Structure 1
Amino acid sequence: MKSVLEEDFQILAQTKGLEFEKFRNKKFLITGATGLIGSLLIRSLMYLDDNKKLGIKIFAVVRNLDKAAGIFQEQFSDERLVFVKADLGKDNLKLNEKVDYIIHAAAVTTSKILIEKPVEAMETALQGTKSMLEIARADKVQKMVYVSSMEIYGQVNSGKKASESDLGYVDLANVRSGYPESKRLCELMCNAYASEYGVEVVSARLAQTFGAGILPNENRVFAQFARSAMKNEDIVLHTQGKSEGNYVYTMDAISAILLLLLKGKSGEAYNVSNPENHVTIKEMAQLVADNFSDKSKVIIDIPEDAKKFGYAPDTKLWLDNTKLVELGWTPNNDLIESYRKMILWMKNN
């Protein structure tokens, strides 16, 4: 019996408009290889290589080789997959071979760390991105995708869907803002390299991404909601849950990134989101309770020291994915299907 992730890989391999033949005999450099996006990109490319015999080679940048071995298991020793240990906040990464494609997915995303070590988090973002752009420049890569975030928009309360040019307010007095502000600067750095050096680079502004393939230590709200429902426990919110969330299923996000490698316009940014998956945090919690539990209720319990958790400010952001759809991308999974697949994955892994 196929796992839910294997079924996703099979769907990806059959996606119209993704010309995987262009990846034949190409070399990929992927950072953040032990994160959700990086690990799924690697697994997806290796599945494609298994089924289409493309002759792909992948250089996977990690900080912890033991963690990588635990995530990739039998694939860890696969000759197609070469792990490169580096701290992108400090190390100036250099490879002995030229690469054709770069996907820069490494970033500090844990809210607690963004609050407690904002300097280090920003250093990782800025130094890591510059290092990747220098490799892209030297190797004349066919395309680099910088994995950005919807948080780049800051606080947008216009009431309409936000296109890639509709940036909002970021509070520079809040050290948590180091995350969206460094994402903005990294995108600008990508555009500068495209303009000055002709580097082929695009930015993928990912909505909150979840589904099959999430890692065991995942602790963002979507995973917390799922675990509570699986245990028939109440889903507890530590905010009023008024912030409007934008979500995209894991494999839909992967297909978008691969499409941008093939068709993205250099110097441009693209929203990666499913507009149908737009709800408030409280509404999403209620959706999970109603559809995946017999007993769970949604409870609001705001601690007195809530600020120390580093929650992002409430926003009414609603991402417009028109620009990506015009390249040929179609998201296939709504919220209920995303949760169904993720919960099935969590139960079996």
Structure 2
Amino acid sequence: MPKSTVRPGAEIVGESAALKEVLEIAQIVARSNSPVLLRGESGTGKEFFAKLIHDSSSRHEKPFVKLNCAALSAGVLESELFGHEKGAFTGATSQKEGRFELAHGGTLLLDEIGEISAEFQAKLLRVLQEGELERVGGTRTLKVNVRLVCATNKDLETAVAAGEFRADLYYRINVVPITLPPLRQRDGDIPRLAQKFLQRFNRENGRSLSFAPATLDILSKCEFPGNIRELQNCTQRTATLARSDVIVPQDLACEQGRCYSPILKKAVAEQVGKGAIHGLARGETESMGQPCDVGVFAAETVMGQSGLIGRERLEQAMATAGWVQAKAARLLGRTPRQVGYSLRRHGIERKVF
């Protein structure tokens, strides 16, 4: 097979300082075989960064294998990762190699690592410690050599404190943590990404659409709580419904920096309770065509349930940032408001540092 001429990380688009910083870290980390934990909100491109690390490493000619651990039971996950022998369980009609075997010599990405059950965490830890495994239903010990990259949008420190995630597994996978910035912290990257997604749409659909400058200006002011994934969805939907080859602001379901997403509004309302629902209802009905400011609303009101930062992680970031909340927020991949909220919840004062 001819060697690919595509440069590592070509899929990652942007010129912002926040993006360049994590790209540099990823390139440095790629030189070693240390386990990496990619952190960040949903839709920030963790899989692309895992592939960048693999393609920039000495393992780049070996397999890059990935598995999303979410919603898989311990039994299914064990079979997927470790493989199984014929007859190991009902439906096992043939021998199957697991993802560890398939990734031998290369890189294994375990996405949504924070969702695996306590039962399976112990089994995974053993394989990571000893570098060997047995297939389900098998007795032969197999040696495996993989570079492990894990990804999560969960606060694992809080999960460890709550007894939901093993501390020993956490330290095993969190050797080199990299926090990916949300789209709202990547100044100037939204227009570049939107252009990329539109070019892809044009190629796939034989179109020649383009954005009017005013349209890109509006997009750049949007929050996009779903980050790159939401921007891609918005671009594709807008392009599909565009009435002419030039996409003007009227073609967007987004105006004045406000993301118009009924599904997102509903999800946020369900999370924050009746008070939020009433607030959303007011935002939707006060004036026709003026959508609720869902991006800011989600960041501020859902914080109480999903935005609390673990105490130890927060203290380390604040110490590194010299008690400057904005700098700590960048280190943590959070907003200054979330940092301030977490400081108050934990009762942390400056004298701690």
| TM-score (normalizing by structure 1) | 0.36
Greater RCO, 1 or 2 (C-alpha within 8 Å, sep 6+): 1
| TM-score (normalizing by structure 2) | 0.35
From the CA coordinates, give the structure whose radius of gyration is larger: 2
More helix, by proportion: 2
